[in-house]
Structure 1
Amino acid sequence: MNEISRLLQGEAKIINVGAQSFLEDLKLQERSVLHVEWRPPAGGDVELVSFLDELENDERIATANQKVVEIMKSSHGVLVDMALAIDVIPGMDENTILHAGPPITWERMCGPMKGAVIGALLFEERASSEEAAIKLIESGTIKFSPCNEHNAVGPMAGIISPHMPVHIIKDMTHGNYAYCTVNEGLGKVLRYGAYDESVITRLKWIREEFYPLLKKVLALKGDGVDIKSLISQAVHMGDECHNRNKAATSLFFREVIPYFFMLEEDRAAVQRAVDFIRGNDHYFLNLSMPACKAACDAASNVDHATVVTTMARNGVDFGIRVSGMGKDTWFTAPADKIRGLLFPGFTEEDANPDIGDSTITETMGIGGFAMGGSPAIVQFVGGTVSDAIAYSEKMFTITTSENTNYSIPTLDFRGSAIGIDVMKVLATGTLPIINTGMAHKVAGVGQVGAGLVSPPMECFRKALRAYMERRGKANE
């Protein structure tokens, strides 16, 4: 009996490549199937495939991408001070309000962002009512600009107005700075678009009592708070430093608490400040974000690089920036809805599309990329522990390197995936994974759930086409 006859008479082994529908049909027939996930590179777009073929063996790109991730990994973010935004953020003036995500006009803003802008104008006492705030905005007096274009980041709506206190993070390796506001905590908060009296009162308390105390604490400490070190420790303690910051906030609290009790200020005021940090598990998010921002900014202008240095969303658009394309170029597409767990009483229709600058954590290789080391996060965003580990492992297929500064215990202390490569995303069809909160689409309602989301693939398609156009002009 020849080989072909033996094969035909033996039990058939079925391998399904690509199409999920074929797999489901075979399962209905109770057939044993090995499924291989496969998609054509760049979704089968012939032009993009030709671009990928042309760039695949370009040593300039490989060298540039390695340089980007080395800059990011060597970055060393330290909280050195606090100040009012107008005094330290480049380009900030009395009529400027910064927001999360790529550029957007007032007319196109989503509900939570519009609510947060109104709240900021009430806080700044530029308006005495919602109607007066809207009139001021529509007069053209107020200018809007992305936080990311001013060395800053902001969670959810991401609003920073001139007289809000900001944390000052210095990259001790590269000398640049990044800025972020103070996390308000949970409940009715400005970042979800709330602007009632309780929100404004809390913001004014942060500026008038909390901020001066923490500024003095940092002056007493002298050498700042090493945020990079705290992130590294927190990842080993079950945080991923985007949606879970319990360990990181506790570590930060331990760093600053002795100095609070050295202050000579009113004991009741000091106690309120201490209680504010102790009772806010998300406090550290507004420190991890600017630390990641400082690292990505330091690596944001390396010629020929195809590594992403910004991912941000404004509740309408998702935008990315690529190191080799400079700081001024955004590639945008409509932001997606988040898939995950909704709080009781809410439906998918209530949720706003993806919003916030907190994706800077995933850009740096923590957040969703480090979920595999944060088992408790699945209780918040849905899925299982094995899903979280699988997501972390999958991110290695679209990144340039591993960041051993942030090693993941459940992956045998493998460094987190870092350096999202536009070419690898398109070649594999795998998108970066992000874990995030869901905001209600109506201003002020607040958080309605949490889950997982990815950037639109169109952002990466646009980036590669623009990269090739720029490459062509450079070769002329």
Structure 2
Amino acid sequence: VGPMAGIISQSMPVFIVKNETFGNLSFGTMNEGLGKVLRYGAYSDDVIIRLKWMETVLYPTLKKAIEKIGSIDLKSIISQALHMGDELHNRNRAATSLLYRVLAPAITRTSADSENAAKVLEFINSNDHSFLNLSMAAAKASLDAARDVEYSSIAVTMARNGVDFGIQLSGTGGKWFTGPAPVPDALYFAGFSKDDANPDIGDSAITETYGLGGFAIASAPAIVGFIGGSAKDAQNYTLEMYEITASENKAYQIPYLDFRGVPTGIDIIKVVENNILPFIDTGVAHKEAGVGQIGAGVLNAPPEPFARAYMGLAKSIDDTKERL
């Protein structure tokens, strides 16, 4: 998985995340930071220079450090970060800090070049989104284990490509159900407006599919404050998501809701019948290639994919019954 444009080429190193219970793997790119970066459509010389540095310095330094550590418990970091003001999509400051604490001793002990070690630590420390790609990969590793449950109406993927918004269900295999991707309501950087924005894009809505991001925004009221909302608004957004989910994840608790587990397992039947759409927080890319990020904000998923998934699941169930 990759945020925003989600570009992954053959030479780009990735994180490998293992679901320890079921054994399946997921993969995520390393985060470049914010602003003019590849995932937001920028491709200037400084973007390429940074990517080459990530390939030749950041990657081998992290590889040695993680091999020294053995493994990093992402579930524990996510759980703690939710108690520290993160929702693990648009706000990852606490999770990145916790990751830094795990990595720093191993980096200093395993790097043969002290200057490279310092630059890697500075890069992680200066990028509050360093953990985002790991939260996405953790979400995918968990959700992939929920695939292929017969008749299940639970969404296992939500993704956007800048044109369409698509979902997949546990009970309908690899079939995509799509609709037009919306443009986020956002706080735009100086000089930009909604007219400049590309429709929503990226794999990062896998975090909401997992119960994080917009579904856990009560843990990160600062995000809503960023676009002019209140802490109460953040709580209400999360409370509404309980109306369209199958369960609560007690491993991931929200302090502001008396440590209630995050709403987990989007049930598309509930989405359609309750007329409540998943709430997502997201970054905003310029509609023209090369400009990069122009803001951040929130949006609801479009209704069309869920209505089509509802009908598709019903047809799948009918077809199965006819074959019996």
Q: TM-score, normalised by structure 2?
A: 0.98
Query: How far off its partner does 1:340 sit?
Result: 2.4
Q: Work out which of the residue numbers 190, 197, 209 in structure 2 matches 1:351.
A: 197
Q: Describe how 1:110-189 pairs up with structure 2 within 5 A.
A: 153-189=1-37
Q: Which residue of 2 aligns with 1:461?
A: 307
The residue aligned with 2:52 is: 204
Distance 2:43 2:295 in 1: 20
The answer as to 2:196 corresponding to 1:377 is: no
Q: Percent identity?
A: 55
Mark the runs of 5 or more structure 1 residues left unpaired by the alignment.
1-152
2:139 to 292, 296, 320: 292
Output one character per residue of 1:227-274: Cα deviation in whole Å (capped at 9) or x when no partner.
010000000001000000000000000001001111241111111111
State the alpha-carbon separation in 1 of the partners of residues 193 and 123 from structure 2: 32
Q: RMSD between aligned alpha carbons?
A: 0.9
C-alpha displacement of 1:173? 0.8
1:421 aligns with 2:276: no
Deviation at 1:197, TM superposition (A): 0.9
| Aligned residue in 1 for 2:249 | 403
Corresponding position of 1:442: 288
Q: Which letter does structure 1 place at the counterpart of 2:78?
A: I
- Measure, in 2, the Cα distance between the counterparts of 1:192 and 1:390: 30
Distance 1:387 1:199 in 2: 37
Contact 2:61/2:111 (CA < 8 Å) preserved in 1?
Answer: no
Contact 2:15 2:27 in 1 (8 A): yes
Residues 198-243 of structure 1 deviation map (CA, whole Å, 9 limit, x = unaligned): 1111101100111011000011112x11001000000000100000
Separation (CA, whole Å) in 1 of partners of 2:108 and 2:284: 37
Question: What is the letter of the counterpart of residue 320 of structure 2?
Answer: A
Alignment size in residue pairs:
322
Contact 2:78/2:135, CA 8 A, preserved across alignment: yes
Q: 1:318 to 1:275 in 2, by over 3 A?
A: same
Contact kept? 1:340, 1:382, Cα under 8 Å: no
CA distance in 1, matches of 2:241, 2:100: 32
Distance 1:309 1:474 in 2: 21
Work out whether 1:302 is the aligned partner of 2:182. Answer: no
Q: Determine which structure has more spread, i.e. the larger CA radius of gyration.
A: 1
Alignment-derived partner of residue 92 in structure 1: none
The offset of 1:187, in angstroms, is 2.3
Q: Residues of 2 paired with 1:322 and 1:380: CA distance?
A: 33
Cα deviations across residues 88-124 of structure 1 (Å, max 9, x unaligned)?
xxxxxxxxxxxxxxxxxxxxxxxxxxxxxxxxxxxxx
Residues 402-437 of structure 1: CA deviation (Å, up to 9, x unaligned): 111111000000001001101100111000000111
Letter of the structure 2 residue corresponding to residue 246 of structure 1: R
Q: What is the CA deviation profile of residues 35-76 of structure 1, one whole-angstrom value per residue up to 9, with x for unaligned ones?
A: xxxxxxxxxxxxxxxxxxxxxxxxxxxxxxxxxxxxxxxxxx
**Could you tell me how far apart the structure 2 residues matched to 1:372 and 1:418 are?**
14
Amino acid at match of 1:427: E
SS of corresponding position for 2:157 = strand
Q: Residues 277 and 301 of structure 2 are in contact (CA less than 8 Å); yes or no, is this contact kept in structure 1?
A: yes
- Are 2:215 and 2:279, in contact at CA under 8 Å, matched by a contact in 1? yes
Match for residue 272 of structure 1 among 106, 119, 126: 119
CA distance in 1, matches of 2:133, 2:178: 25
Do residues 260 (structure 1) and 73 (structure 2) align? no
Moved more, 414-423 or 256-265: 256-265
Using the alignment, how far apart are the partners of 1:244 and 1:385 within structure 2? 15
Q: Could you list the per-position Cα deviations for residues 151-202 of structure 1 after superposition, in whole angstroms to 9, with x for gaps in the alignment?
A: xx11000010111000000111110000011100112110011111111111
Partner of 1:364: 210
Tell me by how many angstroms 1:381 deviates.
3.9
Counterpart-to-counterpart distance in 1, 2:245 and 2:310: 16
C-alpha displacement at 1:442, in angstroms? 0.9
Deviations along 1:449-476, one digit per CA (max 9) or x if unpaired, are: 1111122111011111111111111111
SS at the partner of 2:109?
coil
Q: Is the 8 A contact 1:189 1:195 kept in 2?
A: yes
CA distance, structure 1, for counterparts of residue 24 and residue 151 of structure 2: 22
Runs ≥4 in structure 1, deviation > 6 angstroms?
A: none
Could you list the runs of 5+ residues in structure 2 that have no partner in the other structure? none
Report the CA distance between 1:379 and its aligned residue: 3.0
Distance in 2 (alpha carbons) for counterparts of 1:293 and 1:381: 28
Deviation at 1:343, TM superposition (A): 1.6
Say whether 1:236 aligns with 2:83.
yes
Structure 2 CA distance, aligned partners of 1:238 and 1:351?
27
